[in-house]
Structures are given as C-alpha cells and as structure tokens.
Amino acid sequence: MGLRTLLRRRRERSLGQSLVEFAIILPVFLVVLSAAIDLGRMAYARVTIANVAREASFQAAKTPTSYQAGQPCSTTTNMVICRAVLESTGSVVTVSPSDITMTCTPDCAGTMGNTVTVKATGTFNLLTPVMAAFFGGTTITFSSSATNQVSALPTSAVAEPPDEPPVEPPVEPPVEPPVEPCTQPSAGFTYVTSPLNDTDSPVTVVVTDTSTASAGCEIDSRVWTWGDGTTSANPPSPVTHTYNWYGPAANNNFYLTLTVWHLGLESTSGAQIVPVKK
C-alpha cells in the first residue's frame, strides 16, 4: 500500500466525520435560531398591542361617540376602531374590530373630568413548534389598555350686571368704579422627585401648583398632563404621580405640563422633563 493511498483514505475519513458532526449540530442550531426569532417577534407584538390601545384611546378622547362595538372601520361612525386597526396593520399581531372595547367613566359626554378607557386584544402565532410547549400552544393572546380624559372645555360663567342704586333727587347717583377685565392667568408649578437622586423605575413626583391670576379672576380649573398618556383634572394640591418605565428603550422621558383656566382664558406651563430609567 503506497503513501498516497494512505493519505487519501485519511482525508476521506476526516471529511466523513465532519459531515456527520455537521448533520448532528445543524438541527439544534436551527431550533435555537428559530426560538430566538420567535422571542423577538413576541416582544414586538407586546409593544404593538400597547401602541394600538394608546392610539385608540387618543382617538376616543377626541371622538368618544364615534365607536360601535364589533363593527368594521367607518370614518364617520367608528373612528376608534379605524385608529386601532390602522395601528396594527402590517405588524405580527392580529387585531380585529371585535378585539377593541371602550368604556367611559362616568359617561362619554364632552364634560370636564370624564375619562375613556380602551382595551385592545390581539393574537400572535409562533413559528417554532418547540416554543409552543412553553406557552401552551402556537397561538398567544396579548392585551393592553389605555385611559385618557375626554376632550372638553370648561364652562364659562356669565357675570350678572351689578344692581344700580336708587336715584333720589336732588342727590347724584354714585359713580360705579370701572370693572377691570380679567387677564390671562399664568400657569406654573414646582415638583420634587422621589427618590431625589435616583431615576430608576418607578419614579414618584410631587407637584405643587404655583399658577397666578389677576385680582378677582381666580383660577377655576386645572388639568395636569403627566406625559405618559394620563391626566388629572382639578386634584387637590400638592399632587402625587408615579411614572413607570415602558417600551424597548433604556430611558423614558416624560413631559409634565399644567393647564389652567379662568372664564375661558387658558394658559399652559412649559414642559418639565421627568427621566425614568429601566
């Protein structure tokens, strides 16, 4: 047997062994890869369903009466469903009109203090059968809800004209001093975060209203906009609110503002950024 024959046989054995090892490792690698893809798709699905609920609640706050449960999208009578279906279009999660529910507290009238809550439910299908063993099947249901205040303007009070004193001749009637018109109020506030030197979620802020108005024109309505999709109307000061981190980013910045009214005159403070870390 020659040297060339021995070298050729050895190369053939090495090649065969490599093919066998590759055939053993390939299925395991494909399972791990597909599982990683499914986990990423699941994270995307959770973010999508949260966005669907938030966008639908924004629309419901503007048009609370444009909602028909379980009915298809209509730009005249069912704007809430249209907003939800549009947000989910092209994503990995399936949302149908019957998956969107809306409730108003105490009712859906355009009155200050009324709130509307939208709950969105969606279905997600796994690609990897192995993952189904951990989630009880290949179809997973996600749900999320969001609450907003129904858009409304404060009711303006009508001032009663002052009673004129009786005129007794020959005494001249007293001259009423001119009534100065109310000027626009100035919105402002201070806030303190708790804990003071830590912005890791959750972060609690305590806000104190420092708004001012001209004499005799006291502020009659206040709305805090927290920047996380929620608002508070006319709460007693100081007000406490807690921020929680959400979404894929490592940091969230929430923009806190205060809007005040007097007899239809409106003023909104500058936005204060409240950072929250994951």
Query: Does 193 fall in a domain?
Result: yes
| Other CB atoms within 10 A of residue 262 CB | 22
pLDDT of residue 20: 73
Number of domains in the chain: 2
Query: Do 145 and 194 share a domain, yes or no?
Result: no
Query: Does 272 fall in a domain?
Result: yes
Domain boundary among 91, 118, 149: 149
pLDDT of residue 50: 93
Query: Does 230 fall in a domain?
Result: yes
Query: Do 141 and 193 share a domain, yes or no?
Result: no
Domain boundary among 93, 125, 149: 149
Query: Do 200 and 136 share a domain, yes or no?
Result: no
pLDDT of residue 179: 62
pLDDT of residue 265: 84
Query: Does 60 fall in a domain?
Result: yes
User: Residue 186 in contact with residue 257, Cβ under 8 Å?
Assistant: no
Query: Does 109 fall in a domain?
Result: yes
Domain boundary among 149, 176, 206: 149
Query: Does 88 fall in a domain?
Result: yes
Domain assignment of residue 74, given as a range: 27-149
Q: What is the pTM of this model?
A: 0.46
Q: Dihedral, CA atoms, 19, 20, 24, 27, nearest 10 degrees?
A: 40
pLDDT of residue 4: 62
pLDDT of residue 13: 61
Give me the residue label for tokens 């001119």: 178
Query: Does 182 fall in a domain?
Result: no
Mean pLDDT by 10 residues, the chain (278 residues): 57 67 76 80 90 92 91 91 90 90 90 91 84 80 91 67 72 69 86 76 88 84 89 86 76 87 85 84
pLDDT of residue 159: 59
Query: Does 6 fall in a domain?
Result: no
pLDDT of residue 178: 64
pLDDT of residue 25: 82
| Other CB atoms within 10 A of residue 46 CB | 18
Any idea what the Cα angle at residue 223 is, between residues 56 and 191, rounded to 5°?
Answer: 110
Query: Do 205 and 137 share a domain, yes or no?
Result: no
